[in-house]
Amino acid sequence: MVRRLHVAETVEIPENVTVTIEGLKVTVKGPKGELTRDFSYARDVTLRLEDGKVVVETFLADRQRKALTGTIAAHIRNMITGVTKGYRYKLKIISSHFPMTVVVDEKNRIVRIKNFIGEKADRIAKIYGDAKVKVSGSDVIVEGLDIEGVGLTAASIERATRIPDRDRRVFSDGIFIYEKGEAE
């Protein structure tokens, strides 16, 4: 078994973004907003700023530490993309049997799906983090700075309309993710 003593990943910081590091807590500020993330669970990893880059490094690196280093670097890259461009997921409302209505309740941070396959009770999907949800026609658009909040919200909406024990070829009703990426 060959063990590399030192593994480091670097993340470039664009001009319009500022990154501050306090121990293992990273704050990224950009033109669209600010994101903070605590990596204190990663005890074997160190974070530092060096020449306009974030350096994520570990020593006595085994397989898990090397993977953890790459994961933290990827999280920081996603944070930088989030504060510069943002993330957007698009979902399509498909109702072939009963016309369903999708309503966003910002006060309670939920999405209410009414009359799904003729059900009297509403189906509820939670809005996570700072994600913003809007319904336009047969599209549901989820946007935000944090990729985790946007992805969890889109998955929650899709999962709320899941139909168990039915043939998907016949009962194709639901809300499905069809596009995901940066908001530009």
Mean pLDDT for the chain? 92
Tens of pLDDT, residues 159-181: 999 988 888 788 889 999 999 99
Tens of pLDDT, residues 126-160: 999 999 999 999 999 999 999 999 999 999 999 99
Question: Does the pLDDT value for residue 110 go beyond 70?
Answer: yes
Please list the alpha-helical segments (H only) found in the chain. 63-84, 147-160
Residue 130 half-sphere exposure toward CB, CA atoms < 13 A:
13
How far out from the chain centre does Cα 35 lie? 12
Domain boundary among 54, 84, 114: 84
Question: Does the pLDDT value for residue 17 go beyond 90?
Answer: yes
* Distance separating alpha carbons of residues 6 and 29, to the nearest angstrom: 29
Co-location of 80 and 125 in the same domain:
no
Q: How many domains does the chain have?
A: 2
Co-location of 78 and 134 in the same domain:
no
Domain that holds residue 23: 4-84
Co-location of 129 and 150 in the same domain:
yes
> Which of 166, 22, 172 has the alpha carbon at shortest distance from 94?
172
- Write the CATH number for 58: 3.90.930.12
pLDDT at 115: 93
- Cβ contact 115:62 at 8 Å: no
List strand residue ranges (DSSP E) for the chain, in order.
4-12, 18-22, 25-29, 34-38, 45-50, 53-61, 87-94, 101-105, 110-114, 123-126, 132-136, 139-144, 174-182
